[in-house]
Structures are given as structure tokens and as C-alpha cells.
Amino acid sequence: MNDVAKFSLTLIGLFFIISFVANFGGFGEWFELVVQAPYMIFMFYGFYRILSKEVCREGWKRTALDLLLLFSLMMFFVGYGLHFAANKIEVIMAENEATLLVVPRVATSLEALIYLSAIYVPTYYLDEVLGHQLVYTGFFGLMVGGVLLELWHREEEKLAATDYTAIATSSIMFTLIITLATVEGQYAIYALALTVIMALLLIVYLKGSLVRRPFTLLMLLVSIMTAACITVLAAMFFDPISVALHGLTGRVPQPSEPSRILRQFIFISGNFSDEVKVILALLT
């Protein structure tokens, strides 16, 4: 099996499993810091080693690629840390039962409302907007760097049916990861634009040679499927109010929002006692 196809299936397959466990395993924040983030470094480095194996990299292209990859990696982890810290604070303010119990009381104090809004609004921005933009712009830059590394420094390769199967399987898993991650933050429209641009450029400039470049073919499939998934989700959850307020850059509702809104409604509503609110919140 082609080395890029084989390792893409291995690296992305493990990334898919780790992401699934992180989201649904209930391990908490320590799992992200101890397992998920280090594995991302390993995956990026793994692809870099595979794509640069036994190739001669000299001249301005080498410098440009190294700068792009380093800058993208820096942007990714700066955003990762920013999002992690801000998300922890934002979740406590928006979802924590002890915090929500005092919300109706705080709502009667103008000073408290002003103080909390002054904290919550920038925290939400750092968490759901800037944090996600840095993370996935850096991620996108690494994808572009991998494509350029293959195009500039690797020859076209003859691929077998098993290679195409591995690439297709890897692209599906990678698409699910990126789609869920981008839609969960306020990044979906931005991600849609980037993936469409990448897909169009690859199709226009490479055409038939795409089928002989495994990593580039992987990125093309991921771009097309990610753009399609985000478009479908945006259509399913179309929110005219958000569009009216924010224009076409209005966000796509996050999958986690229904439970959050229900939880906040339970606590802010005056129809339940504090004890009932906690019980209902646990059930949501």
C-alpha cells in the first residue's frame, strides 16, 4: 500500500477514535491536555515525515513551506490554549448549576448585570469566535502546507484500489472531525469559504493529476465533503434572526446549544423551586 495512503488511514483513524472518546467519553479537560493535544502534534509530525521522506528540499520553496508550517502550528496551539481556558470560564458562567441558581437574583441588580456582561461577552468571544478561528485557520494552514509539500517535492505516484479505499475512508473520518469541530464554534461560514476555495483551486490547477497525488486527493475529498456537510447543516438550522442581525456570516447553531438553552430556561424560569431546578438540570 502507498505510504501516504497507509499512514493517513492510521493517523486519522486514531485521531477519529481519540476525538470520539474526548467528546463522548466523559473524561473531562485532562484528556484534552494529556491525550488529544499531544496526539495532534504527533499526527502533524507524522504527515510531515511521510511527505518529506527522501525528498530534496532546497531554495525559497523550502523556506516558504517551513514558515507556513511553523506559523500555522503556532496559530493552532495559541488558539487551542485560548479556547481551552476561555471555554472553561464560559461554561461555568453559562451552564454551571450553582451559577445559574443566582441568575434570577442577579437579574434584579443592574450593577451585577453590567459587571457579568463585561466579563461574559469578551470571554464568549475568546472562546467561540477568536479561539476557534485561530485553531482552524492554523489547521487549514497545515493542510495547505502538506499539499504544497507534496506538489513541490514529491513525484506523482501510481495508486492501487486499496490506496484509494484508504484515502476515501480517511477523508470521511477527517470530514466528520472537522465538521463537528467547526460547527460547534462560530466558524462554520469561515470554514465553508476556505474549503470551497481549496477544492476549486485543486480541481482547476491539477485536474487529472489529482488521482496520482494521495495527500492532495485526501485534502480535496475532505474539502468537498466538509463544504457539503456545513452547507447542509446551515440549511437545516437556518436562523433568519441571526442572519438579520449578523448577515451571511451569522453563525450555524451549535449541537450543544439545545441542552444549554433548556438548562438556562429551567433555572431562569420562576416556575420551579431551587431543588427541582437542580434535578431537572441533571436530567438534561
Per residue in 19-72, pLDDT (tens digit) is 888 777 667 678 888 888 899 999 999 999 898 887 766 778 888 888 999 999
CA distance 108 to 103: 9
Average of per-residue pLDDT values in the chain: 79
CA distance 69 to 196: 21
Determine the pLDDT at residue 102: 63
pLDDT of residue 141 exceeding 90, the answer is yes
CA distance 15 to 108: 47
Determine the pLDDT at residue 59: 78
pLDDT of residue 9 exceeding 70, the answer is yes
pLDDT of residue 11 exceeding 80, the answer is yes
- Out of 61-65, 141-145, 147-151, 167-171, which region has the weakest mean confidence (pLDDT)? 61-65
Determine the pLDDT at residue 254: 61
CA distance 100 to 104: 8
- pTM of model > 0.75: yes
pLDDT of residue 78 exceeding 90, the answer is yes
**Which amino acid, residue 220?**
L
- What stretches of the chain adopt beta strand conformation (E)? none
Q: Give the SS3 label for residue 140.
A: helix
Cβ–Cβ under 8 Å, residues 250 and 186:
no
Determine the pLDDT at residue 237: 55
φ and ψ of 150, to 5 deg: -70, -45
pLDDT of residue 282 exceeding 90, the answer is no
Determine the pLDDT at residue 5: 93
Q: Is the dihedral of CA 207, 209, 210, 211 positive or negative?
A: positive
**Which amino acid, residue 50?**
I
In this structure, the dihedral spanned by the alpha carbons of residues 149, 151, 157 and 160, taken in order and rounded to 10 degrees, is: 80
Closest CA to 194 of 238, 239, 132: 132
Per residue in 99-108, pLDDT (tens digit) is 666 656 655 6
Q: What is the mean pLDDT of residues 194-199?
A: 90
Per residue in 41-56, pLDDT (tens digit) is 999 999 998 988 877 6
CA distance 96 to 70: 37
Which tops the pLDDT comparison, 188 or 153? Answer: 153
Cα three-residue angle 253-238-184, rounded to 5 degrees: 20
Q: Is 213 exposed, middle or buried (CB count within 10 Å of its CB: 0-12, 13-18, 19+)?
A: buried
Determine the pLDDT at residue 121: 81
